[in-house]
Structure 1
Amino acid sequence: MAVLTPSITQAVHVIQSGGVLAYPTEAVFGLGCDPSRLDAVERILSIKQRPVHKGLILIASAFEQLNDYLAPLDQAMLDRVLPTWPDAITWVLPARPEVSYLLRGEHDTIAVRVSKHPTVKALCDTLNHPLVSTSANIAGEEPFRSAQALNDQLGAYLDLVLDQPLGGRTQPSEIRDGLSGAILRPS
């Protein structure tokens, strides 16, 4: 079993040590790690049984934390994206060419979100970088909304489950295309 704790300090230590944790987001628990630690990213993909070609989401507390992952955005795209954050809206935006295939999948884009969830903000503010964020579940199964149930089912594969409240939303974040503004997944 993973450590089940409400401690942000312990969660930050796990992330800094290259570990994998589950943490609350706006609607469901997510699996996360430092996106620069590709061994941890591979662990998440393995735990979820998620195909690498699909890519993952990065979640941040500030737009600037995404700079190392995003290609320069034109003003029209910035004008479309920035007013929607922080919130539960994920944007698919052009990725820097050096961003790992493990993060962006087969795409030349990457899905990113600036969250106002207090736990996500605390983690990303303390780390000063984004986290990988993908729903805590086996691909195709329902994501977890309870820290204890998550730990009972996936705890053997995780280093820590951050037991703090979800954000109260009933659906995962909306996903929008940064080029067109089209909604790819409604909330």
Structure 2
Amino acid sequence: MATTSDIEKAAGVLRAGGLLALPTETVYGLGADAENPAAVARTFEVKGRPPDHPLIVHLGGAEHLDGWVRDVPATARLLAERFWPGPLTLVLRRGDRVPYEATGGLETVAVRVPDHPVALALLSAFGGGVTAPSANRFGSVSPTTADDVRAELGDSVDFVLDGGRCEVGVESTIVDVTGDTPTILRPGGVTREDLEAALGRPLAVPSTSRVRVPGQHPSHYAPRARVVLVEPEKVVHEAELAQESGHRVGVFVPAPFGDTAVKAHAVVAVPDSAAAYARGLYGFLRDLDQQGCDLIIASLPAERGLGLAIANRLRRAAGPRATD
């Protein structure tokens, strides 16, 4: 785990225009000084991320919003007071401190306050904003441990700040609050139900958006193995058929069928708890890759609570690849 000395070193890396991996409660981020266009541009290079895909600016608290955004509507203030620090990102109008390199050229900026002691200590020591997309190659499985980062990015990162395993395990929920009607642009660690309870109104979760935000690419959060989604009651049968046809199959066995014996190369028993499933999801996908699976059979959970975010990640993982 990170020490005070580690945090001071990490802050120095940011000040020098370097890149570091930092823990958050969601996933590990690839951090850069949000006000340094060259450092932000290097983030895109290391990830292989298209430059028009905006980044999230991480701040140490809602009191630091001045300059990063132009105005904070009442809805945004309410959500910030209720869910920050936490896995909620708000899309607001860009302030003067945010370079266009961080917003993908947009006049909006995504901001959040992470709920992780190491991340908050770093932000305090650094004294500024940090852009931090997930610390992995673009489109691949997000890292939830420091070892995941080291295995994927290696020497491309100047320093890895180890904060242990991420507690939430899926990225933040992104809510657009620039218009009259707040909209969920990406489901994540704060549930739709909790947001609706806080606002006292229903929220839409559109499949497409006029505002570009992270996680909207058709293929995203994807392992090397191809992911195929089927109905829960068909998972075992489809996995065994694929295994018999010569695939090295990894299978996510849904909780109701957890006692079923499966003839497959590797088996993941999906946890009963949605929170446990979300926390373990990316680790499960990475592990199946490491075991040499070329095909993963899974099903979507019920799309309520954290199940909405899990289903979103699985759909993206199963999305069309560049070679399709």
Contact 1:155 1:161 in 2 (8 A): no
Contact 1:66 1:130 in 2 (8 A): no
Distance 2:85 2:2 in 1: 26
The one-letter code of the counterpart of 2:149 is L
Distance 2:27 2:61 in 1: 21
Aligned length: 184
Alpha-carbon offset, residue 167 of structure 1:
3.7
Question: Map of 1:43-122 to 2, 5 A cutoff?
Answer: 43-96=42-95, 99-122=98-121
Q: Matched residue of 1:15: which SS?
A: helix
**Percent identity of the aligned residues?**
33
- Structure 1 position 168 matched with structure 2 position 167: yes
The one-letter code of the counterpart of 2:185 is L
Distance 1:184 1:90 in 2: 10
Report the aligned-residue RMSD.
1.9
Give the 3 Å change call, closer, same or farther, for CA 97–65 of structure 1 in structure 2.
closer
Alpha-carbon offset, residue 97 of structure 1:
5.7
Alpha-carbon offset, residue 122 of structure 1:
0.2
* Residue deviations 1:90-134 (CA, integer Å, cap 9, x gap): 111111267322111132110100122111110111122221110
Distance 1:25 1:77 in 2: 21
Alpha-carbon offset, residue 75 of structure 1:
3.4
Distance 2:26 2:149 in 1: 14
Distance 1:98 1:162 in 2: 25
Q: Could you list the runs of 5+ residues in structure 2 that have no partner in the other structure?
A: 189-324
Partner of 1:158: 157
* Residue deviations 1:41-60 (CA, integer Å, cap 9, x gap): 01101111111112100011
Give the 3 Å change call, closer, same or farther, for CA 89–114 of structure 1 in structure 2.
same
Distance 2:60 2:95 in 1: 20
Alpha-carbon offset, residue 152 of structure 1:
2.9
- Structure 1 position 29 matched with structure 2 position 15: no
Partner of 1:137: 136
Partner of 2:198: none
- What is the TM-score with the length of structure 2 in the denominator? 0.53
Partner of 1:181: 182
- What is the TM-score with the length of structure 1 in the denominator? 0.89
After superposing on structure 2, the runs of 4+ consecutive aligned residues of structure 1 that deviate more than 4 Å are none
Partner of 2:312: none
Q: Matched residue of 1:135: which SS?
A: coil
Q: Could you list the runs of 5+ residues in structure 1 that have no partner in the other structure?
A: none
Q: Matched residue of 1:52: which SS?
A: coil
Distance 1:72 1:109 in 2: 11
Question: By percentage of residues, which structure has more strand?
Answer: 1
Distance 1:161 1:87 in 2: 22
Give the 3 Å change call, closer, same or farther, for CA 17–85 of structure 1 in structure 2.
same
Contact 1:92 1:176 in 2 (8 A): yes
- Structure 1 position 38 matched with structure 2 position 37: yes
Give the 3 Å change call, closer, same or farther, for CA 15–98 of structure 1 in structure 2.
closer
